[in-house]
Amino acid sequence: MTLQPHAAPFTRFADWFAAAQASEPNDPNAMALATATPDGAPSLRVVLLKAWDERGFVFYTNLDSQKGREIAGNPAVHLNFHWKSLQRQVRIGGKAALVSDTEADAYFATRPRESQLGAWASLQSQPLPDRATFEARVAEMAQRFPGEVPRPPRWSGWLVTPERIEFWQARDGRWHEREVFWREADGWRFGLVYP
């Protein structure tokens, strides 16, 4: 890779994300989140990007969920956006850390009431005997919180601070373009890798 100074990759992400929002029919903010289990096995699921800036990329979850427990044990994670209609991917590797309570409270307040109640009712990733049990828990939370629903204490957001970002663009003949940005002590570096 060519080591050369380069502006942070967030301008490129902003352009690609805007294009995805204009062209993807469903959830352009969907991203695969890879974590590792305590024994080192990969663990993958799709989550939704809820905020981003030059600090990194934010998603929210129950901290007692499988992903929450895995990140608490090993904060090294990877994200992957795949925008099929654009034939583009963005791969992000970095470290996750909890957002502030103020940030989590502000986002939680924007969620629909049903989602807020569901956050209280769900014992995310725990065994569920039947759907009726969950629905009964939702009804119980609706009675408990007839007005404003506060953020549950074990529900928050993770900020993924990127250390490496790759922009992948499909090309004919599988001559894909792969541009890689990586963080060093004095800022971002840029290089290309073979397809």
Active site residues: 174
Q: How many CB atoms lie within 10 A of CB 116?
A: 21
DSSP state of 5: B
Q: Is 171 exposed, middle or buried (0-12, 13-18, 19+ CB in 10 A)?
A: exposed
**Nearest-angstrom CA–CA distance, 131 and 119:** 15
∠ CA 164-84-54, nearest 5°, is: 30
Q: Is 8 exposed, middle or buried (0-12, 13-18, 19+ CB in 10 A)?
A: middle
In 146-156, which positions are buried (b, 16+ CB within 10 angstroms) versus exposed (e)?
eeebebbeebb
